[in-house]
Structure 1
Amino acid sequence: MNFVTIDFETASSDRGTPCEIGLTFVENNQIVVTKSWLIKPHCYPNFDYFNMLIHGITPQMVVTEPEFDEIWTEILPLIEGKFLFAHNAGFDFSVLRKTLDAYDLPYPNVAYACSYILAKNIWPGLSSYNLKSLCNERQITFDHHRAGADAKATAELILIGLANKEITNIDDFKIKGRMSIGKLSSTGYQPCQTIRTYTKPDFRVVAADTSHHDRDCLFYERNVVFTGKLSSMERSAAQKIVISIGGRITEGVTRDTDYLVVGFQDYRYVGEDGMSSKQKKAITMVNSGANLEIMSEDDFLRSIDGKWNSMKIKVEAY
């Protein structure tokens, strides 16, 4: 495969303040070259102390360096039309987009994938998927948190992963890598995401038992949708409780939805705004006057009352 890995270091928590960019170029599954540029961010000389602790780049190191818009003329031809990788691509591509926006520059046309997501799908069950931990596991040594070194280490890690899954082209990612390809172009942005396999639970037995219906419960004879991961229980258990009470579970947010229960949203999958498509649609509907309530997991637990939360109804028995 041919691809380019990209990595940014930032001067502050603002993602539009890159102070270094690194690119590693891979051709025919061989690392060809790594390039890096120090950048004088638009926030200069204001660097966050925490960021400097991480990457070691100080204002003094970039005082004579060009700003991003100056080096972009050199970088753009190197990545335009290419397939890019980044480790935790949600961060790096957010840095790229926000910086281009700050300088009123058009987006390049690139396809990209996230090596963090790829690693989780290739090597499930690891305690950590940060770049340092993954590279330590595979004896890849590098100067962590410098953009060029991180880009090269990411490329080495990707090559091991691609060989592991026998991924030889972009089309293989959907089946073998279980991930969709992200896109950035002059017309917009589409994040890279995990393709999740989901088997819809069969709640027919639960629904047939009406002995625990509770007309006083908020969810009785109401349509309830869940999104995100619950911390208190599996989603299927929460759905069983709603059905046991006498509520109805639906998968998508529609005009008939009464409640959307929002659990933890992983920004690597839902995007940097931290909202799933269900939540975004629900907010739009509420703003348009829909009689729909969006509630947190804590609100949900309070609404089902302590007797349900303590599982006196043995939903796991169904």
Structure 2
Amino acid sequence: MDTYNDFVAIDFETSYGHIPCSLGIVEFSNGEPINEYYTLIKPIDLKFNPINSRINGIFLEDVFNKKEFDEIWNEIEHFFIDKNIVAHNASTDITILNKTLDYYKIHKPDFKSFCTLEISKSLLELENYKLSTLASYFQFNQNNYHNALEDAYICGQIFNEFRDNAFEYIKNDNKKRIRKPKSNASSINTIKTDILLGKTFLFTGTLTKFNRTDAQKMVEDHGGKNISAVSKNLNFLVAGDKAGSKLKKAEEIGTVVVLTEDEFLNMING
């Protein structure tokens, strides 16, 4: 591939951590989609984090009889070899890919990767940079957020919008932001502000509804920040069983909002 006109957009959905349970791939040539691929994947470990299932709508019964990743690799390897791979929050998707290939002892193909999340942060000034926010900004129809195929397609369309600017960003590490929106883009002010944006979170106690790492990632994906200690800078403390001294200190400060795990889930999905 000699230009960024040809690229492959991907998206993984996970059962928990970096364990994939679905994959969407859309191949673009001259900026137009020419091939697509979608599959559910039987996870390496047959367990699902409830927070992941609530987000992507995939449950154990949906994937129990599906192929494992090593069984589909021959079908999808050609999408990766010497290609430009595009993903939103690419570091996560590439980590999922690499860890899964390592688990199955599959040779990793050579490719270049590009992140629409990082590029958009450098080229636009928005209230957050979630895929759904960028879809709204560019007026792309998105009916099934967190479906891996649709997310890959939207990611590819977003990369199309950025290709010329992204080339300079990638080539020169140009961090200068572009403040003038495209003429066909909706006003930034119409994008709904995320309730977690700029807020600080701390998880304490034994969590039973979700994995701590996954929950922290959700905070970051929604524009929030995870911190490690209770202080006046903490906005929300999510308390599991046996929360202990951190809960007591938060109550003493008086300005920290204490949430149950269910209340946190409702906030994420609200």
Give the TM bin, normalised by the shorter chain.
Answer: 0.5 to 0.7
2:14 to 6, 10, 21: 10
C-alpha distance after superposition, 1:41-78 (max 9, x if no partner): 0111x111110001001111112210000001111122
TM-fit CA distance, 1:171: 7.5
2:44 to 42, 49, 60: 42
Which secondary structure does the structure 1 equivalent of 2:86 belong to? strand
Aligned match of 1:95: 96
Counterpart of 2:134, as a letter, is L
Which secondary structure does the structure 2 equivalent of 1:109 belong to? coil
- Alignment TM-score, normalising by the size of structure 1: 0.51
C-alpha distance after superposition, 1:245-296 (max 9, x if no partner): xxxxxxxxxxxxxxxxxxxxxxx9xxxxxxxxxxxxxxxxxxxxxxxxxxxx
Query: Cα–Cα, structure 1 residues 54 and 37, in superposed 2: closer, same or farther, change >3 Å?
Result: same
2:32 to 21, 26, 30: 30
Query: Is this contact kept in 1: 2:42–2:68, CA < 8 A?
Result: yes
Counterpart of 1:27, as a letter, is S
Q: Distance in 2 between matches of 1:78 and 1:118?
A: 22
TM-fit CA distance, 1:29: 1.3
Aligned match of 2:114: 113
Counterpart of 1:52, as a letter, is S
Counterpart of 1:5, as a letter, is A
Which secondary structure does the structure 2 equivalent of 1:11 belong to? strand
1:174 to 156, 165, 171: 171
TM-fit CA distance, 1:83: 0.7
Point out the structure with max Rg over C-alpha: 1
Counterpart mapping for 1:259-278 below 5 A: none
Query: Is this contact kept in 1: 2:123–2:175, CA < 8 A?
Result: no
Q: Distance in 2 between matches of 1:33 and 1:69?
A: 21
Which secondary structure does the structure 1 equivalent of 2:66 belong to? coil
Counterpart of 1:77, as a letter, is H
Counterpart mapping for 1:50-65 below 5 A: 50-65=51-66
Q: Which runs of 5+ in 2 are unaligned?
A: 177-219, 221-230, 232-270
TM-fit CA distance, 1:196: 5.5
Q: Distance in 2 between matches of 1:173 and 1:34?
A: 26
Aligned match of 2:138: 138
Aligned residue pairs total: 173
Counterpart of 1:115, as a letter, is T
Counterpart mapping for 1:162-311 below 5 A: 162=163, 165=165, 173-175=170-172, 178=173
Counterpart of 1:35, as a letter, is Y
TM-fit CA distance, 1:172: 7.0
Aligned match of 1:256: none
TM-fit CA distance, 1:33: 2.7
Q: Distance in 2 between matches of 1:107 and 1:119?
A: 28
Which secondary structure does the structure 1 equivalent of 2:36 belong to? strand
Aligned match of 1:303: none
Query: Is this contact kept in 1: 2:7–2:83, CA < 8 A?
Result: yes
TM-fit CA distance, 1:31: 1.6
Aligned match of 1:126: 126
Query: Is this contact kept in 1: 2:27–2:79, CA < 8 A?
Result: no
Query: Is this contact kept in 1: 2:119–2:169, CA < 8 A?
Result: no
TM-fit CA distance, 1:104: 1.4
C-alpha distance after superposition, 1:145-179 (max 9, x if no partner): 0110000000111111225x3x6xx677313xx3x
Q: Distance in 2 between matches of 1:42 and 1:112?
A: 25
Q: Distance in 2 between matches of 1:174 and 1:33?
A: 28
Q: Distance in 1 between matches of 2:169 and 2:88?
A: 19
Give the structure, 1 or 2, with the largest relative contact order (CA under 8 Å, sep 6 or more): 2
TM-fit CA distance, 1:95: 0.5
Which secondary structure does the structure 2 equivalent of 1:42 belong to? coil
Q: Distance in 2 between matches of 1:87 and 1:144?
A: 13
Q: Distance in 2 between matches of 1:77 and 1:33?
A: 12
Counterpart of 1:40, as a letter, is K
C-alpha distance after superposition, 1:89-118 (max 9, x if no partner): 111011011111111112111111111111
- Alignment TM-score, normalising by the size of structure 2: 0.60
Q: Percent identity?
A: 31
Q: Which runs of 5+ in 1 are unaligned?
A: 179-194, 198-267, 269-297, 299-318
